[in-house]
Structure 1
Amino acid sequence: MAGPFGAQSTTDEVLAGVDLSGKRILVTGASAGLGVETARALAAHGAQVVGAARDLDKARTATEEVRAQAANGGGLELVELDLASLASVRACAAALVAAGKPFDLVIANAGVMATPFGKTADGFETQFGTNHLGHFVLVNRIASLLQPGSRLVNLSSAGHRFSDVDLEDPNFGHTPYAEFVAYGRSKTANVLFAVEFDRRHKAGGVRATAVHPGGIRTELGRYMTPEVTEQLISSINAAAQSAGTEAFSWKTIPQGAATSVWAGVVAPADLVGGRYCEDCHVAAIEADPAVRGGVQPYALDPERARALWAKSEEMVGERF
Structure 2
Amino acid sequence: MTDIFGATSTTDDVLAGVDLSGKRVLVTGASAGLGVETCRVLVAHGAMVIGAARNLDKAEQATAGVRAAVANGAGFDLIQLDLASLASVRACADALVADGRPFDIVIANAGVMAPPLGRTADGFETQFGTNHLGHFVLVNRIAGLIREGGRLVNLSSAGHRFADVDLKDANFEQTEYDPWVAYGRSKTANVLFAVEFDRRHKTRGVRATAVHPGGIRTELSRHMTQADEDALIGSINAAHAAAGLPPFEFKTIPQGAATSVWAAAVADAGAIGGRYCEDCHVAEIQDGEGIRGGVRPYALDEARAKALWAKSEELVEEQF
Please confirm whether the aligned pair reaches a TM-score higher than 0.5, indicating the same fold. yes
The CA deviation at 1:96 is 0.1
**Cα pair 2:53 2:80 within 8 Å, conserved:** yes
Higher mean displacement: 308-317 or 67-76: 67-76
**Cα pair 1:243 1:290 within 8 Å, conserved:** no
1:172 matched to 2:172: yes
3-state SS, counterpart of residue 240 of structure 1: helix
> Equivalents in 1 of 2:18, 2:243: separation in Å?
38
The CA deviation at 1:61 is 0.3
Unmatched segments (≥5 aa) in structure 1: none
Counterpart of 1:148?
Answer: 148
- The CA deviation string for residues 69-97 of structure 1, in whole angstroms up to 9 with x for no partner, is 11131111000000000000000000000
**Cα pair 2:283 2:295 within 8 Å, conserved:** yes
1:125 matched to 2:142: no
**Cα pair 2:161 2:291 within 8 Å, conserved:** no
Higher mean displacement: 284-293 or 259-268: 284-293
Amino-acid identity (%): 74
> Equivalents in 1 of 2:138, 2:247: separation in Å?
37
**Cα pair 1:243 1:291 within 8 Å, conserved:** no
1:214 matched to 2:252: no
- The CA deviation string for residues 15-58 of structure 1, in whole angstroms up to 9 with x for no partner, is 00000000000000000000000000000000000000000000
AA matched with 1:130? T
The CA deviation at 1:290 is 3.6
Counterpart of 1:16?
Answer: 16
3-state SS, counterpart of residue 52 of structure 1: strand
> Equivalents in 2 of 1:157, 1:291: separation in Å?
10
**Cα pair 2:235 2:291 within 8 Å, conserved:** no
Q: How does 1:177-196 map to 2 (within 5 A)?
A: 177-196=177-196
The CA deviation at 1:3 is 3.3
3-state SS, counterpart of residue 209 of structure 1: strand
> Equivalents in 1 of 2:2, 2:78: separation in Å?
30
- The CA deviation string for residues 81-121 of structure 1, in whole angstroms up to 9 with x for no partner, is 00000000000000000000000000000000001000000
1:304 matched to 2:307: no
**TM-score, normalised via structure 2 length:** 0.99
Unmatched segments (≥5 aa) in structure 2: none
1:271 matched to 2:271: yes
Higher mean displacement: 247-256 or 287-296: 287-296
AA matched with 1:311? K
- Aligned pairs, how many? 320
> Equivalents in 1 of 2:156, 2:92: separation in Å?
22
**Cα pair 1:242 1:290 within 8 Å, conserved:** no
The two structures, once aligned, show a CA RMSD in angstroms of 0.6
> Equivalents in 2 of 1:72, 1:307: separation in Å?
45
Q: How does 1:53-92 map to 2 (within 5 A)?
A: 53-92=53-92
Q: Runs of 4+ in structure 1 displaced over 4 angstroms?
A: none
AA matched with 1:316? V
The CA deviation at 1:291 is 5.7
- The CA deviation string for residues 127-167 of structure 1, in whole angstroms up to 9 with x for no partner, is 00000000000000000101110000000000000000000
AA matched with 1:61? Q
3-state SS, counterpart of residue 136 of structure 1: helix
AA matched with 1:36? V
- The CA deviation string for residues 194-219 of structure 1, in whole angstroms up to 9 with x for no partner, is 00000000001100000000000000
AA matched with 1:102? P
**Cα pair 1:245 1:291 within 8 Å, conserved:** no
